[in-house]
Structure 1
Amino acid sequence: MSRTALVWFRRDLRLNDHPALQAALAAAERVIPVFVYAPDEEAPWAPGGAANWWLHHSLAALSARLAALGSPLVIRRGPTLEALRALISETGADRIFWNRLYEPAVRTRDAAIKEALREDGLTVESFNSALLFEPWTLQTQSDQPYRVFSPFWRNAEPRLVDVRAPTPAPTALPGPAKAVSSEPLETLALLPRLPWADGFRARWTPGEAGALARLTPFLDGPVQQYRQRRDLPGDDDGTSGLSPHLHFGEIGPAQVLAATRARGPLNPQVQHFIREIGWREFAHHLLYHYPQTPTEALYHDKFGAFPWRSAADYADNLRAWQRGETGIPIVDAGMRQLWATGWMHNRVRMVVASFLTKNLLTPWQEGAAWFWDTLVDASLANNTLGWQWSAGCGADAAPYFRIFNPLLQSERFDADGAYLDAWVPELRSLSGKHKHMPWTAPVPPKGYPAPIVDLAATRDRALAAYDRIK
């Protein structure tokens, strides 16, 4: 009997640089790719609405590529262990391979599945495809996890020379001896019933081809001005736009690193871009070693007593923030961009997060939950690090006194108002400082709200609150 291997796809929805797929091809005569839909097993962090939109289209793209190679994607519903065992029984598979994930609930689930299938007599192996470095391979000199990015990266950066070379996609896949039943993708109901995601299609092309289509032109030009352009939210080409593709594994960081090296030595601009890949590595390092952080401050001993406003007090402000109706133009532009495209420029993410946690004194968990449901690149590791950084309660966070002034941020990084014009059309008739501070205009624009809070007064309130837990 010929050996048959299952390749369990998760958030590694590509064929290039796919260690589990390569291992299966090397170990078996037949390869069956499978995706198991089991969101309950990721609770309480099952994918949100925007991520599900992306997942649907990414699975469709992957399924088409696999079918063209000779082994169609088999889609099953969970529970995962039951689904895999059923497929093993149907196909006679004697081995299974997958690439690792690092979220706490998923790690626990995967460990149990690995143990159970090995007890069943299968060969079971997992691999790293999502990171440059496994989270347990980097430690401080005292053998502790890192909590600050700079020393983490000083340790990691010299090791980039040892990152594995990406492998090419297979040209053919020997499929099962007979057809295997599969759940139709549409029955997973990943797409929204209402057309709130229509704007996503204008910006994004989920799938491996879409990822490569973003990486190549970015490395051929804009990356050479990355340090200057990455902070300008109105510059659509200033950042790579790879975050959702990396999250769903449509491209891997090893591929990004190899592609940058293929264009010559890593000059300071390119090094700055790779450093941002390093921040993603750092986020996963933290999540792995501190699995409580998606809901609890890293420095919980101090921040557990922080005097946030009550839900009843901040409810109206939170709703205005979510809808992009705060009366602070750059905050509203960012929140509207998020709703329309499933993404927000990183500089603006910091601004809106600072505004929510400090000017509105709303718990960072509320913002993290909203981003989780509305971002197409909603990574638990990145989302947690970003929100705790902004709230001042997590790794690499500056002291409590860092409070972004959204007006200065707007004037500095969107000086010509291009970003505001794109997302807050009510302000297009204004110019100069009035566009950034419309309440100062001789005739305030119709249809745009007045600021929901006084920035100076709420800054003082935040400083007083942080002073209580210093």
Structure 2
Amino acid sequence: MTPTQPIIVWFRDDLRLSDHPALHEAASRGVPVTCLYVLDEESRALKPPAARPLGGAARWWLAQSLRALGNDLATIGGSLVLRKGPAASAIAALAREANANAVFWNDIAQAPHQAVAGDVEAALASNGISSQILPGDLLVEPKAIRNKENRGLRVFTPFWRRVQGLGDPPKPLPAPKKLISVPGIASEAVSDWALEPTRPDWAGGLRESWRPGEAAAQAQLKAFLDDGISGYSGDRDRPDRDGTSRLSPHLRFGEISPRQVWHAARFAAAEHPRLVGNVDKFLSELGWREFCRHLLFDVPDLADRNLQAHFDGFPWKRDAKALKAWQRGRTGYPIVDAGMRQLWHTGVMHNRVRMVVASFLVKHLLIDWRAGEQWFWDTLVDADAGSNPANWQWVAGSGADAAPYFRVFNPILQGEKFDPDGGYVRRWVPELTRLPDNLIHQPWTATPIELASAGIELGKTYPQPIVDHKQGRERALAAYAKIRGKD
């Protein structure tokens, strides 16, 4: 590579300037840098395991994040080139246009991404162009956490101990202060890619709820560590409170790195020792993301296959009507319906409620966890290829370190315990607003006079429960007993 030949930095799920190893390395060379994002919806189908097409909510987020990244690059003299097509051919073509002699990118330790990256590396090599791949997606690379059989760990607690035992990850890298751009490089426009819904435009709630981009991610982390972390251990389970970090979609799209979150949280604990317990709990949630990513590294078909094979014989029910009622937040169980409506409007759902609604689908309704995982994949702005299926399999009892299948969440008790004043339900199920607190989580127990005074007509203004809790639980346990008897 001659001193003046440019370097291409290929952005993927790392839409940020700071702690971006590939960008940092390229900028340090003092040569022109072309920043590239490729919308590759073709390579994923070329060979298994296929990368999943983004869901609708994630596509909306991607559009906003790319605009933010482009603006951020412009402030330091750079620009973002957008191309659509197979990554290998698109990147090789851009390298020829820019007269680049090297392409840098951050590794993503997932089989589909690595398969595409391998194709890119081969295409570049055939054109005499070098590649440099740097770690930037995880706290610890999967190869560093293996058992005696050289497999990844399947239980979270020993996994997390191993990660922590390796000490702090490397400190985050600063963003480049200045880039030298390559003039005259054509770029497509985000608006050309139809990432955002138009007819109908269902993204109003997403726009109302979120500000994608690196600046927003950093601001959210700071606000959480300044104000929210002190009550995190308890408040994180309360959907009626603003007790979570709200960082998950920013992490999903790499607008902030796990190393940045780790070090900022550790700094907060060092500055304020009273926060240590809450910080440790918060970092364990970051550890769960890491655990799921490592699991996906070993099990690329995590979204399709039961990790515990005896679940392959589970007698799931096909019930399109019940599935639709669940998707639309019309089950008759207020905490479930509130969660599903929050998801549809904002693209996220509170963590505790995610477990409740997943348990309800899989156990009360006996609907295959994959149907729920697919719905979440399409409607979550933080839909993550590791966490989403791993969490669903955890609830279903079929996954790694899974909850036992016979742990059936009672949606009434869960609501009463974690939304005791009904604030969460009233926010997302407004037709129940006038019910008193002691009835808000089980409106079917209200007297006719109580329902009338609250303006509720069960079966019309709000549905009756689509399944009785006790009967649903017994049916679930009976179904599980059948597959256990075959072991």
Question: Is TM (by shorter chain) over 0.5?
Answer: yes
2:236 to 221, 230, 237: 230
Question: What whole-Å deviation, never above 9, does each CA across 1:163-185 have from its counterpart, x for those lacking one?
Answer: 11001111110111x31000011
* 2:325 is aligned with 1:308: no
Cα distance in 1 between the residues matched to 2:266 and 2:468:
48
Matches within 5 A, 1:34-183: 34-42=36-44, 43=50, 45-161=52-168, 163-176=169-182, 178-183=183-188
Verify the 8 A CA contact 1:5 1:93 in the aligned structure 2: yes
Cα distance in 2 between the residues matched to 1:370 and 1:458:
22
1:455 to 448, 452, 469: 469
For the residue of structure 1 that corresponds to 2:483, the secondary structure is coil
- Structure 1 equivalent of residue 282 of structure 2: 273
**Which shows bigger deviation, 116-125 or 403-412?**
116-125
- Structure 2 equivalent of residue 20 of structure 1: 22
Question: What whole-Å deviation, never above 9, does each CA across 1:260-318 have from its counterpart, x for those lacking one?
Answer: 12224361111000000000000001000011221001112x11111111x3xx11000
Cα distance in 2 between the residues matched to 1:213 and 1:28:
30
Please report how far the alpha carbon of residue 249 of structure 1 lies from its aligned counterpart in structure 2 after TM superposition.
0.2
Verify the 8 A CA contact 2:302 2:386 in the aligned structure 1: no
Verify the 8 A CA contact 2:151 2:298 in the aligned structure 1: no
Matches within 5 A, 1:315-334: 315-334=320-339
What TM-score, normalized to structure 1?
0.96
Cα distance in 2 between the residues matched to 1:275 and 1:432:
33
For the residue of structure 2 that corresponds to 1:295, the secondary structure is coil
1:393 to 398, 405, 414: 398
**Which shows bigger deviation, 443-452 or 409-418?**
443-452
Please report how far the alpha carbon of residue 222 of structure 1 lies from its aligned counterpart in structure 2 after TM superposition.
1.4
- Structure 1 equivalent of residue 379 of structure 2: 374
Verify the 8 A CA contact 1:3 1:28 in the aligned structure 2: no
Cα distance in 1 between the residues matched to 2:258 and 2:446:
47
Structure 2 residue runs without a partner (length 5+): 45-49
Cα distance in 1 between the residues matched to 2:109 and 2:355:
24
1:255 to 238, 260, 265: 260
2:439 to 434, 450, 458: 434
Cα distance in 1 between the residues matched to 2:376 and 2:398:
18
For the residue of structure 1 that corresponds to 2:131, the secondary structure is strand
Verify the 8 A CA contact 1:39 1:47 in the aligned structure 2: no
Cα distance in 2 between the residues matched to 1:331 and 1:124:
48
Please report how far the alpha carbon of residue 44 of structure 1 lies from its aligned counterpart in structure 2 after TM superposition.
5.5
What TM-score, normalized to structure 2?
0.93
Cα distance in 2 between the residues matched to 1:367 and 1:430:
30
2:5 to 3, 6, 13: 3
Please report how far the alpha carbon of residue 104 of structure 1 lies from its aligned counterpart in structure 2 after TM superposition.
2.8
For the residue of structure 2 that corresponds to 1:133, the secondary structure is coil
Verify the 8 A CA contact 2:8 2:100 in the aligned structure 1: yes
Q: What is the number of residues matched between the two proteins?
A: 463
Cα distance in 1 between the residues matched to 2:151 and 2:186:
48
For the residue of structure 2 that corresponds to 1:404, the secondary structure is coil
Structure 1 residue runs without a partner (length 5+): none
For the residue of structure 1 that corresponds to 2:83, the secondary structure is strand
Tell me which amino acid in the other structure corresponds to 2:376. F
Please report how far the alpha carbon of residue 110 of structure 1 lies from its aligned counterpart in structure 2 after TM superposition.
1.2
Matches within 5 A, 1:341-356: 341-356=346-361
- Structure 1 equivalent of residue 214 of structure 2: 208
Cα distance in 1 between the residues matched to 2:86 and 2:403:
43
Please report how far the alpha carbon of residue 53 of structure 1 lies from its aligned counterpart in structure 2 after TM superposition.
0.5
Tell me which amino acid in the other structure corresponds to 1:11. D
Verify the 8 A CA contact 2:221 2:247 in the aligned structure 1: yes
Question: What whole-Å deviation, never above 9, does each CA across 1:40-93 have from its counterpart, x for those lacking one?
Answer: 334561101000100000000000111221121000111111111111111110
Backbone CA RMSD of aligned residues: 1.3
**Which shows bigger deviation, 273-282 or 60-69?**
60-69
Matches within 5 A, 1:351-366: 351-366=356-371
Question: What whole-Å deviation, never above 9, does each CA across 1:215-257 have from its counterpart, x for those lacking one?
Answer: 1010012112111100000112x00000000000000010011
Verify the 8 A CA contact 1:20 1:97 in the aligned structure 2: yes
